[in-house]
Amino acid sequence: MKAGKEYVCVMRLHGPFNENELKKVLKEFTGPIYQRPPLRSAVKRILRIRKVYYIELLEIDGKDILMRVGVEAGTYIRKLCHDIGEVLGCGAHMQELRRTRVGPFKEDETLVTMYDVLDSYKIWIEEGIDKYIRKVILPVEKGVEHLPKVIIKDTAVDAICHGASLAVTGILRVETGIRVGDLVAIFTQKGEIVALGKALMRSEEMISSKKGLAVKTKRVIMKPGTYPPFWKMKKTK
């Protein structure tokens, strides 16, 4: 839900415009922008800042502008089109919209049909060939590629699987750039996802601190008992 999004959009301008001016305005809307959600939206209509990563002008057909837009989660493309039209002075609205990417999932790389799933499953069951089903059914780790990672010790895995928060003593290494409040992915040394959690420390603090909680577990992915329950062994001693 919080991952970046990419869309292909048709913006229809309401009047005459200058192509060079259009390109200039599109550049002005790249980067952090102020945006108030439209009247018909699922959130409160308060002014907020959202980041537009890029706007790529693909084609101009009369007053229809085809463009590819990469944005932060929570950015309204129809409001973006409206605001671009306001700055141009001719007005505009969003005519068509298609989402082409969410986080690591791209329309032209990861989408498959149910026929693909069925065929690959039959080949796996009947012939024992698994390379096709591995292409259409991706591991859960694929879904968190965009999140910063915290790698933990084997001795800490089962405690996290039971909902415990992650202490700094259970950490092996972390990715840089983690801030307090960030959603992070907790991984084993083998690259298996254990859980998702909210960072309680910055990356530097997770490495330098001798004690304390580094991540509050929010969603457990790995089944308890996958790794030995070292935390139970400590209690019995």
With 90 as the cut, is the pLDDT of residue 235 above it?
no
pTM: 0.74
With 60 as the cut, is the pLDDT of residue 149 above it?
yes
pLDDT at 2: 75
Region 28-37: what's the mean pLDDT? Answer: 92
pLDDT at 111: 82
Region 172-178: what's the mean pLDDT? Answer: 94
Vertex 128: Cα angle to 127 and 129 (nearest 5)? 90
pLDDT at 39: 77
When pLDDT is cut at 50, 70 and 90, the band that residue 110 belongs to is: confident
When pLDDT is cut at 50, 70 and 90, the band that residue 236 belongs to is: low
pLDDT at 44: 82
